[in-house]
């Protein structure tokens, strides 16, 4: 296997630290060339000491100067431009996208133009800009290998089979903590309850998205652009044990699934090592201890997130960007205690079903739509809930 030279965007988050662990265990295969992170100064310093990257980008100028003073040989940049600088380092051939927000979008486009392998953990990229990304990919030698556990499972189960042989893909969802809850109880769900995910340990935003099934909705959209199937070929099933990470049914009715204990290091490793497999020492799945694998249908009335995902696929254009940005804003307000859990759905639905969508040609247009949607969503929230919750 050739050495992979990696730019890791979002090195201090959950995907980022897991990626570094995978790199640390495979230093003969993976080399960290650059990292980009936010404001976790101590952790960034620790990572620089351990992995000796050539280039680092942090959030602000002061932190960049402090880091430069400590590591004189290191190239240090800051802000969104610094992040793009990191992706542009000539030694980089592989980019891990584990940051949130629209900067990830710009970084991905840059990586596509640089013919990188893009190990994609950021969902916004394909949800907000799937059409644009696929157009750019068609003109480049770049490839996207998904890190998301469900997309990785489908990617692995499809393998070298032709797309024409695929009948449907079945995305599994853990269901989060509330998939059996009655809709009328959603009002009483606290932030703390919503943050207690039964099987995966992740950042706050994605944990809330798992509880609302917005995360699965985003994955439906992501899968549509990644695997280029028809909306009717994409299904969702709740599987609380998170052992089957997703499945592919072929035209002959054979179903291939990918199974493992829930551990993000595995899809990260595969995204880096593909098409090869490399050994990984960890706890393995013990079938005799595995008592049951359960499956439940998603109630689309209780979880309108899933219904909206299919409406995004039907509509195309800017609808994915609007859907994602409205949800991001709503989750933000929920985490701050300003709206109720049930309001997340109400807010996103109000935004989504009252918007007219347009086709997007450039990243600037997408960024503008995201900015506008966030502003408008905040306005909707202030108007609907401002007085009662004393914002």
Binding footprint of Mg ion on the chain (CB under 5 A): 148-150
* Cα–Cα nearest to 214, from 103, 54, 349, 117: 349
* CA atoms in the 13 A half-sphere facing the CB of 178: 28
CB of 313 to Mg ion, least distance (A): 18
- Cis, bond preceding 275 (omega within 30 deg of 0): yes
Tell me how far, at minimum, the Cβ of 108 lies from Mg ion, in Å. Answer: 18
**Of 172 and 318, CB closest to Mg ion:** 172
Residue with smaller CB distance to Mg ion, 83 or 170: 170
- In whole angstroms, the minimum distance from the beta carbon of 296 to Mg ion comes to 17
Q: 342: which residues sit within 8 A by CB, 6+ positions away?
A: 183, 186, 187, 189
Q: What is the DSSP string of 127-178?
A: HHHHHHHHHHHHTSS-EEEE-SHHHHHHHHHHTT--GGGEEEEEEEE--GGG
**Tokens at residue 150, please?**
């469900």
Cis peptide before 144 (omega within 30 of 0): no
Minimal CA–CA distance to 167: which of 255, 244, 237, 236? 255
Q: Which two tokens stand for residue 236?
A: 């969702």
DSSP string, 272-325: HHTTS-----S----TTT------B---TTT-HHHHHHHHHHHH-TTHHHHHHH
Please, what is the minimum distance in Å from the beta carbon of residue 219 to Mg ion?
A: 6
Residue 63 or 148: the one with the smaller Cβ distance to Mg ion is: 148
Indicate the residue among 131 and 148 with the shorter CB distance to Mg ion.
Answer: 148
Supply the minimum distance, in Å, between the C-beta of residue 208 and Mg ion: 14
Pick between residue 35 and residue 173 the one whose CB is nearest to Mg ion: 173
By residue count, the chain amounts to 391
Nearer to Mg ion (CB atom), residue 16 or residue 82 = 16
**From CA 15, how far away is CA 88, in angstroms rounded?**
21
CB of 239 to Mg ion, least distance (A): 12
59 vs 216 by CB, closer to Mg ion:
216
Q: How far is the CB of 122 from Mg ion (least distance, A)?
A: 12
Closest chain position to Mg ion (CB): 148
């Amino acid at each position: 296997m050739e050495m992979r030279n990696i730019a890791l965007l979002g090195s201090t988050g959950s995907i980022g630290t897991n990626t570094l662990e995978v790199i640390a265990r495979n230093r003969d295969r993976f080399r960290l060339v650059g990292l980009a992170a936010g404001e976790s100064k101590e952790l960034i310093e620790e990572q620089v000491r351990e992995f000796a990257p050539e280039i680092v980008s942090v959030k602000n100028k002061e932190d960049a100067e402090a880091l430069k003073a400590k590591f004189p040989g290191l190239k240090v940049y800051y802000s969104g431009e610094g992040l793009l600088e990191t992706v542009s380092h000539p030694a980089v051939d592989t980019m891990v996208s584990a940051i949130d927000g629209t900067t990830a979008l710009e970084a991905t486009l840059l990586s596509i133009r640089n013919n990188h392998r893009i190990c994609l953990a950021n969902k916004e990229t394909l949800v907000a800009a799937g059409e644009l990304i696929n157009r750019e990919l068609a003109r480049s030698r770049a490839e996207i290998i998904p890190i998301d556990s469900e997309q990785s499972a489908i990617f692995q189960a499809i393998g070298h089979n032709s797309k024409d042989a695929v009948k449907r893909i079945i995305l599994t969802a853990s269901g989060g903590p509330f998939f059996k809850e009655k809709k009328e109880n959603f009002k009483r769900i606290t932030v703390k309850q919503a943050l207690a995910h039964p099987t995966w340990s992740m950042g706050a935003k994605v944990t809330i998205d798992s509880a609302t099934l917005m995360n699965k909705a985003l994955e439906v959209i992501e899968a549509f652009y990644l695997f280029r199937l028809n909306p009717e070929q994409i299904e969702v099933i709740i599987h609380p044990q998170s052992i089957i990470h997703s499945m592919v049914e072929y035209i002959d009715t054979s179903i291939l699934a990918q199974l493992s204990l829930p551990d993000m290091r595995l899809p990260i490793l595969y995204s880096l090592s593909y098409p090869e497999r490399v050994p990984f020492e960890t706890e393995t799945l013990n079938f005799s201890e595995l008592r049951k694998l359960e499956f439940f249908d998603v109630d689309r009335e209780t979880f309108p997130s899933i219904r909206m995902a299919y409406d995004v696929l039907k509509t195309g254009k800017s609808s994915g960007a609007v859907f994602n940005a409205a949800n991001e804003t709503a989750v933000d307000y929920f985490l701050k205690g300003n709206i109720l859990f049930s309001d997340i759905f109400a807010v996103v639905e109000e935004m989504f079903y009252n918007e007219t969508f347009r086709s997007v040609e450039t990243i600037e247009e997408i960024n503008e739509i995201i900015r506008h949607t966030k502003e408008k969503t905040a306005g909707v929230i202030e108007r609907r809930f401002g007085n009662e919750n004393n914002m």
